[in-house]
Structure 1
Amino acid sequence: MTRANDHQFWKGQNRYNLPQPFRYISQARGGNTRRLLPPCRGLKEVAMPDLSEAQLRELLRHDPRHTEARVRLAAIWIARQKYHDAERLLAEGITIGVAHPALLLQHGECLLDLRQPGAAIARFREVLRLCPQHADALASLGGALLQVGDLTSAVDALGQAAGLLPQDAVVHELWGEALAGTEQAAAAADAFERAWQLGRQTRAIAFYCGNAACDQGRFAHAVAFFRAGSELPGGEPIPWVNWGKAYFELGDVSAATAALRYAAQDQEIAAWRNLALMIPGDPAAGPTDIAHVRKAYAQQIAVPNLPDRTRRATRSKHAGPLRIGYVSSFFAHPNYMKPVYAVLAAHDPRRVDVELFHDGPSSEEFQSCVAQSAVSIVHQVASLTNSQLIDCILGRQLDLVVDLNGYSAMERLPIYTVRLAPLVVGWFNHYATASLAGIDVLLGDANTCYADEQESFSERIQELPVSYLAFRVTHAVPDVVPAPCLERGYLTFGSLCTQYKITPVVLRTWAELLRAAPTSRLLLANRTLESPDVAHYVRDTLQSEGIAAARITLRGGGAHYDYLTNYNDIDIALDAWPYNGGTTTTEALWQGVPVLTFRGDRWASRTSASLLADGPFAEFLRGTRDDMVQFAVTLATRSTTPHYLQDLRTSARARLLESSACDTERLARSLEEVYWRLAAPGDERTGSQKG
C-alpha cells in the first residue's frame, strides 16, 4: 500500500543529514580560511611595474614611506613563506605613519598567516574605516571572522563582499560556509552553487550542494552534484545514503539501492534501514535479495536479551472471544486505512475482542470509526519508546497481535524482533517478507503470493478467500464524472502513484505506449512533482523517449478531496511496478477509472491484482507487461472505447460493492476464521465461515 505520509520512513531522522558547520568545507582545508584567498589581494591597488627584491629594498632605503615598494617586497617574502619578515616590514610602515589601505590589508593577511586572527581582524577594520566599501577588506575580514567563530559577523562581511565581488568564487564559498554555520542552509547552498558555477568545483562544495538540494526537494540536482563530487579528488567521504535517497525520490530505485549497498559495506545503519525499505521496489532485486537485506537489517535492530513473556497455555474452548490487538501508526488516515476501518466495523464481538494500539495523531474519522465498531479499548502509544510499547502490549496478554504497519513505520520495527503474543500476524501493509523474528504469519490472497514463493519468506503465508485489501469508502470523495475522452476525442492515461514507484522502466514503458498511441496524453500527479526540479527530470525523461512536451501534464499534490479530482481528467489509470499502487488503486477504481496493470514477479507487484481480479475492471489486469501495453494501444485506437469507458464509470461503484474488492464483511469473517485457526487450533469456533 502507498504510505499515508510519503516520507514517513524519515521520521525521527535528519532526512538529508546536512553537514554541521564546517563539516566539509573547513575540514577540507584544515580550518585555514586565509589560504583560500589569493595572497596579496591588496596589490590590485598598487600600480607599479614588477621589480626585483634588491630594487625594492633600494627604493625603501631611499624612501621608507614608499607604500608600493613595501607592499611588493612583503608579497615576495610571503610567497617564500617568510611571514615574520613580511609582518615586520609591514608593521614598520604602519609605525612610521603609512596608513595606505593596501598596506593595512596586506598586514592583516600576513597576521592571518601567522595565526593571529584577532590582530588581523583589527587591521581589516582599519581598512574599512578608511574605505567602508573595500571589497577585499570585507572578504578578508569575513574569512578571519570565520576562523575565530564569529559566524554572524562573518555572514554580514562576506555577504557585502559577495555583492561587491559577484564573480569571486572563493568569496562565495566562504560566504556559504558562514551561512551554513548559522544554519541558513538554503542561502548557504545558493552561495556554494554560485561558487561552483564560477569555477570553484571541489568535492566538498559538491557534496554540500547535493545534501542541500535533497533538503529542498531538488533531487535531480542532488544526484548531479553527488555524481560530480564523487569524480573529484579529495578526502571527503561520498554521502552514499543521501545519494541513494535522492535517486529513490526520483523513482530510480535500482540506482538508489546500489548507492546504499556501498554505504552498507561500512555497516552504516541508515544505509541498511533505507535499503530494507526500498528493496521490494527495486526492479533488479529478486526474492532472495529482498530476504537477505531485510534479514540483515532485522539482526541490527533486534532488541537484545528480552525474555519471552507471552502466555503459552492452550486456550480453553470456552474462554470467550479471541483477544487481538491491531498496531498502526496510521489509524488517523481514513483514505489510507479503508480496508482496516471496514474490518473494524464488521468484526463480530462474539468472536474477537479488539484492542487498538494507536501510534499516531488522532482524527475525527478515526474516532467515528471506533465509535461504530466493536473495538473495546484504544491505547494511545505514540509517546512511548519501543521498550515501553513492548511492555504495554505484553501487559495486555493478548492471544494475537496484528501489525498493520510493515516497513512504513520503521522506527517501530524493533518491537517485532521480540515475541509480543503467542501469535503475531502481518496484514494490510505487508507486501514482502518482513524477516522479523517476532512475526509468524503474513496474510495475503491467491493473487498476491504464490505457493512457490514461500521459501523467500521467513513467515508462513496464509491465503484469504477474498481480496486481502477489500475496502469501503466512508470519507468524502468527489462524484464520478463522465469519461474525459467523450469530449476530448482522445484518451488520457494517468497515474497518481507516488514518485518513488515510477521507476525508469515504468517511464520508458509509458513512453512506448504513448508512441504507439500518438493521439493519447499522459497526466501524472504526486507531491514530489511539486518540485520544478523533479518535474523537469520526468518531462526530460519522457521527451528523450520521443514524447512531446505538449502531451505531458504534470501536477503536484493537494488536499485529499481536491487531489482526487485529478481523476476527472484521466480515462485510464496506469499502475506502477514492481511496487504497485494500493491506496491509489482503490481511489481510482472508486472514481470509476480503470487501473491498467499486469501480474508482476513479486507480491508488491500484484497488490492491484488483488483488487482487480474479481470485479468490473478484471479486463484491465493483464498477464504480462507487453500484453498490458498492447491492450492500452488497442483501447486508445478503438472507436468504441469512449462509450465503453463511460459505461464502466457509470456502473463502477455499484459493481465494485458486489465484488471481492469491496466485500469487507467476508474479509472480516475470513480474518476471524484465520485468527481462530492459528491461535486456537481445534476450537469449535474455527470452523469454516465463508461469509
Structure 2
Amino acid sequence: MTVSASPQQPADPIMAQALKDLEQSLAQALQLAVNHHQCGQIEEAETLYRGILQAQPSHPDANHHLGVLAVQMKQAGAALPYFAAALEAKPEQQQYWLSYIDALIQADETETAQQLLALGRQHGLQGDDMEALAGRLNEGPSSAKQSVASEPEAPQSDKKQTRLKASPSAKSTGKAQPRPQQIDKLGAFYKQRRFIEAEALARALTARFPRHGFCWKVLGAAIMAQGQHEQALLPMQTAAQLWPEDAETHGNLGIVLKAIGRLAEAEASYRRALEIAPAYAEAHNNLGVMCKGQGRLIEAEVHYRRALEIKLDFIEAHSNLGNALKDLGRLAQAEASYRRALEIAPAYVEGHNNLGVLLQEQGRLMEAEASYRQALEINPAYGDGYNNLGNALQVQGRLMEAEASFRRALQISPDDAVSHSSLLFCLSHSEAVGAVPLFVEHCRFGERFEAPLRALWREHGNPRDPERRLQVGFVSGDFRSHAMAFFIEPVLEQLAGHASLSLHAYSNHATQDDVSQRLRGHVRHWHTIAGLSDAALAEKIRADGIDILIDLSGHTDKHRLLSFARKPAPIQVSWMGYPGTTGLSSMDYYLSDRFLLPPGQFDSQFTEKLVYLPANAPFLPMADAPPVNDLPALGRGYVTFGSFNRQNKLSRAVIALWSQLLRAVPTSRMVLGAMPQDGQYDTLTAWFAGEGIERERLDFHPRSNMQDYLALHHQVDVCLDTFPYNGGTTTLHALWMGVPTLTLAGSTVAGRTGAGILGHVGLGALVAQDAAAFVQQGLSLAADNFSTLARLRAGLRERFSQSAPSQPELIATGLERALRTMWQRWCAGLPTESFEVNHASMQNMQNMQNAVQEAGA
C-alpha cells in the first residue's frame, strides 16, 4: 500500500436524502474503518478513511487515522499533512499533537518537532507521552524511530482561512539575523499552508531574534490563518513597528484589525499601506471591502477599479466590484464583473456564488441554482454555497431539497449561524414539521450559539429607577424599503413624541434609501452597525446605556441574534420580524396580540414570555392605493381566486388543497402573483395538473411595482392563503383592496397570521380549522349570486380602517405601556412573565402623558 500526501478529488454531492443522513453515515463509516484498521485490514481501512475525507475533507479522526496508517507503513513524511489537518481541525486533542510530533521525528524534521513540542506545551499539553517525546528529541537520532502514534480507538462524536502573503525578503532592524535556511523554511511552511509549523518556527525565531520584522510578520500571518484574530494582533503590530515602510505588513495589520472589529484603525492601516505603495492592488481591494461594508459604495467602486487598473486579472477585485455595483443597483454591470472574474478563473468558487446571488435577486432562479451548483461542483465542501443553494430551492418551494442543502451546510460548518437560521426559516414553511419539533430545532440554535456565551454575561449597571426615561433600541437589517420598515415606521413616528422614551435605531444594512432617511427622522440616535462583530456590537449597546433592546429580525436575513445572545441589555424583546421564538434564553419577551396567539395556547412554543399588544403590528396602506372596484364576479359570472404570496410558500400540499376548491367550483379561475421574473412556473403547473387543474385556468403574473401589484387585486374575488406559513403583508393589502382571504389556521405562529389579521376585522368565519372546512367555506363564498361577497368587498376598506392594526397611536401607546411594565418588573427584581396591555392600563398611560404635556405648557 502507498499512502499519498495529496488528497484525492472530493466526490460530487450525493442525493438530497443521503445528505440528510451524511453525519450518521460518516460515523458508521469511521467505525467500520477503525474495525478494519484494528484487524490489520489496511487497504480496506484506507479506502474508508479516504471516502470520509471525500465527503468532509477536514474530518479530524479520518485525517489522523490515515496519518497513523502512513506511519505504520514506514511513510512518516506522507503522514505529516494528515496529522496537520487533524490538528488544525481539533487542536484540543492531545493525541493529535503526539502523533504529529512523532511523525516529524521519524521524518528527521527534529527542529520542527522541537518547535511544535514547545507550542504544544504553551497550549497546556503535558503528561508522560509528551515527556517521552521530549526525551527522544534530547537523546538524538538513536531514539528517533520509536513511535507513539497510536492505532485508532473507536471514533467519538465530535472560514475560510485568511490568505496573507508572506514576503520572502528578510529585513531586520537588529544585528542578529536568522540563518537564510531558517527564513526559507519559515516561508515554505507558510506557502505550503502548514500554519501550525509556521507558527512554531516563527515563535522560536522571534524569541531568539526579537527585532526581526519578517519573523513577526509570518507569526501574525500564521496565527491569523488559523482564525485566531485577537492573538494575531500583537505580532502584526510588532511587525509594523519594526517595518514601518513595509506596505504589505500594514496591509496585513489592516486585515487583522478589521477581523476584530476595529474598523477605523483597519482603514488607517490600509491607507498607510497605500501611502507607501500607491500601486498596492491588494490594499485597494481590501479598502474597497471596508468601504462597502460601511455603505460607502462609490468609494468602494473607486478602490476596486484602481486595483483592477494595477492588476487586470485580479479576480477577487472583479467579483468585489460586482458586489458594489449590485448594491448600487447597476445590475447589468455587476453581472459583467462577475462573469469577467469567471472568464479569468472558471474555477473561482466565490465568483459562481456571487453571480448566483445576483441572479436570484433578479428572480432568475434556475440560472441562480445552476451557478450555486457549479460552485459546489468545484468545491463540495463550500458551506456558503449550500446555504445559498438552499435559499434558491426554498424560493422555488422545493422545501425538502432546501432543508437537505441547509443541513449539508451545517455539517460542513456547524458554527455557521446564518445557515442555522436559514434552516429554521425553511422548517417554518414545512407542513412536515410540527410545532414541537420546530420549537426543539430553535432551542438547538440557542444551545449551539448562546450556551457558550452565558458564562460571559455581566451584571447591568442601568439605574433601577422605575419611572425614568428609558433608552430603547431597535435592531434590524431592514430599516430601508422593506415590508418590516413599513410596519415599524408608524410606531416610531408615534413614539418620537413620547418624552418617556429615547429611541435608538441600530441599522445592520450597509446601504440606505429614502425610507431609511424617513426612519432616521423618528429616532434620537441612529447607529449603522453593518461590519461590527457580534461582540463589538454588544459592547456598543452596553456603552449606549440601552435599557430595553428590541429585535426586529428574528431568524431572517441580517439578524444580530448573536449579539443578543451576549445579553447586552437588561431587557431584550423580539417583535414583528419573525413568526416564532428566537430560541434564546437571553430574549425575555415576544410581542404579539390575542388574535394572533390566543393567550395560554402558545406559551410552550417560546423561550420568551408572551406580551399581548392591542394589535401585533400596525399597517398603513399606500396613500395613493387604487380604489376598490366592483366585484369582478358580478361581470364575469364566475369566481376568480387569487394568491400573491411568494413562491416558497406554495408547497405541493397547498396546491392540492387549492385544487380541491377549484375542482368543486369548476367555472372558477385563479390568479397567481409575485411569481419569478424568469417565468419558470413548470413545477407549479405540474402540481396543479397532477390535481386535475388545467393550465388554462391559471393566470401567472411576475413580481411588479406596488401600483401594478395592488391593481391586480381588481381581477380577484377571493384570496386563498398558504399554509403552514400564512400570508401577512399580502393579506393586509388584499383586505385594503376589498378582497377577503380564506385561511387555514395552523398550530405554529407562522400558521396563525391569517387568523390574527382576520380576527381584527371581524372575519373569523373565514378562518378554517381543517381542509374540509376550507373547501366548504370557499364553496359558500362562490355559491350564491355573489351579492354577499359584493357587499363585503364594498365595505371592507372602511371596516379595516376602523380596526386596531389601522391605529398606530393605539399600538404605540400599548407598546410604551408594555415596555414600562417590563422595566418596572426588572427594577423590582421580579422575574419575567406573560401579560396583556389592556385598555385601562393604556388609559392611565395616556392620562400621565397628558399631565406631563400640560405641565410643560
Residue correspondence of structure 1 range 50-449 to structure 2 within 5 A: 182=344, 241=387, 244-261=390-407, 264-268=410-414, 269=416, 271-302=419-450, 304=453, 307-309=456-458, 311-312=460-461, 315-319=464-468, 321-333=469-481, 335-347=483-495, 349-360=498-509, 361-371=511-521, 373=522, 375-449=523-597
The percentage of counterpart residues that share the same residue type is 26
Could you tell me which amino acid in structure 1 is paired with residue 750 of structure 2?
A
CA drift of 1:255 comes to: 4.2
2:679·2:702 contact (CA, 8 Å) conserved in 1?
no
2:477·2:558 contact (CA, 8 Å) conserved in 1?
no
Indicate the residue corresponding to 1:539 in structure 2: 685
Structure number, greater radius of gyration: 1
Indicate the residue corresponding to 1:530 in structure 2: 677
Distance 2:619 2:359 in 1: 39
Distance 1:185 1:616 in 2: 58
Q: 1:376 to 1:211 in 2, by over 3 A?
A: closer
Q: Say if 2:817 is the partner of 1:669.
A: no
1:331·1:358 contact (CA, 8 Å) conserved in 2?
yes
Q: 1:660 to 1:180 in 2, by over 3 A?
A: same
Indicate the residue corresponding to 1:60 in structure 2: none
CA drift of 1:540 comes to: 1.8
Q: 1:310 to 1:662 in 2, by over 3 A?
A: farther
Indicate the residue corresponding to 1:138 in structure 2: none
* Unaligned ranges ≥5, structure 1: 1-26, 29-150, 152-176, 191-206
Distance 2:773 2:693 in 1: 21
Could you tell me which amino acid in structure 2 is paired with residue 574 of structure 1?
L
Distance 2:714 2:447 in 1: 47
1:223·1:243 contact (CA, 8 Å) conserved in 2?
yes
SS in 2 for 1:681: helix
CA drift of 1:305 comes to: 7.9
Indicate the residue corresponding to 1:512 in structure 2: 660
CA drift of 1:259 comes to: 4.7
Residue correspondence of structure 1 range 610-649 to structure 2 within 5 A: 610-615=756-761, 617-639=763-785, 641=786, 643-649=787-793
Q: Say if 2:644 is the partner of 1:496.
A: yes
TM-superposition CA deviations, 1:309-368 (whole Å, max 9, x none): 56355622442x222111122222365433312212222513322222233343334434
TM-superposition CA deviations, 1:477-503 (whole Å, max 9, x none): 223222222222211111111111111
Q: Say if 2:739 is the partner of 1:596.
A: no
SS in 1 for 2:625: coil
Q: Give the RMSD, CA atoms, in angstroms.
A: 4.1
Indicate the residue corresponding to 1:98 in structure 2: none
Residue of 718, 726, 731 corresponding to 1:585: 731
Q: 1:423 to 1:494 in 2, by over 3 A?
A: same
Q: 1:405 to 1:212 in 2, by over 3 A?
A: closer
Could you tell me which amino acid in structure 2 is paired with residue 337 of structure 1?
A
Indicate the residue corresponding to 1:156 in structure 2: none
1:493·1:574 contact (CA, 8 Å) conserved in 2?
yes
CA drift of 1:652 comes to: 2.1
Indicate the residue corresponding to 1:167 in structure 2: none
Q: 1:226 to 1:637 in 2, by over 3 A?
A: farther
CA drift of 1:271 comes to: 4.7
Q: 1:475 to 1:326 in 2, by over 3 A?
A: farther
Could you tell me which amino acid in structure 2 is paired with residue 530 of structure 1?
Q
TM-superposition CA deviations, 1:214-260 (whole Å, max 9, x none): 89966579989999xx9x9x997798656644431221324432453
CA drift of 1:620 comes to: 2.1
Could you tell me which amino acid in structure 2 is paired with residue 398 of structure 1?
I
Q: Say if 2:800 is the partner of 1:656.
A: yes
Distance 1:683 1:421 in 2: 13
Distance 2:478 2:638 in 1: 39
Distance 2:461 2:662 in 1: 59
Q: Say if 2:694 is the partner of 1:548.
A: yes
CA drift of 1:398 comes to: 1.6
1:423·1:440 contact (CA, 8 Å) conserved in 2?
yes
CA drift of 1:184 comes to: 6.6
CA drift of 1:442 comes to: 0.6
CA drift of 1:589 comes to: 1.3
TM-superposition CA deviations, 1:459-482 (whole Å, max 9, x none): 112223x22123223554223222
Residue of 812, 832, 841 corresponding to 1:689: 841
1:616·1:648 contact (CA, 8 Å) conserved in 2?
no
Distance 2:688 2:591 in 1: 38
1:336·1:583 contact (CA, 8 Å) conserved in 2?
no
1:467·1:611 contact (CA, 8 Å) conserved in 2?
no
Q: Say if 2:824 is the partner of 1:680.
A: yes
1:622·1:628 contact (CA, 8 Å) conserved in 2?
yes
CA drift of 1:443 comes to: 0.9
* Unaligned ranges ≥5, structure 2: 1-53, 56-312, 314-338, 829-836, 844-857
Q: 1:291 to 1:259 in 2, by over 3 A?
A: same
Q: 1:564 to 1:674 in 2, by over 3 A?
A: same
TM-score (norm 2): 0.51
Indicate the residue corresponding to 1:453 in structure 2: 602
CA drift of 1:426 comes to: 0.5
Q: 1:487 to 1:359 in 2, by over 3 A?
A: same
SS in 2 for 1:576: coil
Q: 1:212 to 1:308 in 2, by over 3 A?
A: closer
Could you tell me which amino acid in structure 1 is paired with residue 683 of structure 2?
Y
Q: 1:317 to 1:276 in 2, by over 3 A?
A: closer
1:615·1:661 contact (CA, 8 Å) conserved in 2?
no
1:492·1:522 contact (CA, 8 Å) conserved in 2?
yes
Distance 1:287 1:472 in 2: 31
Could you tell me which amino acid in structure 2 is paired with residue 594 of structure 1?
P
TM-score (norm 1): 0.63
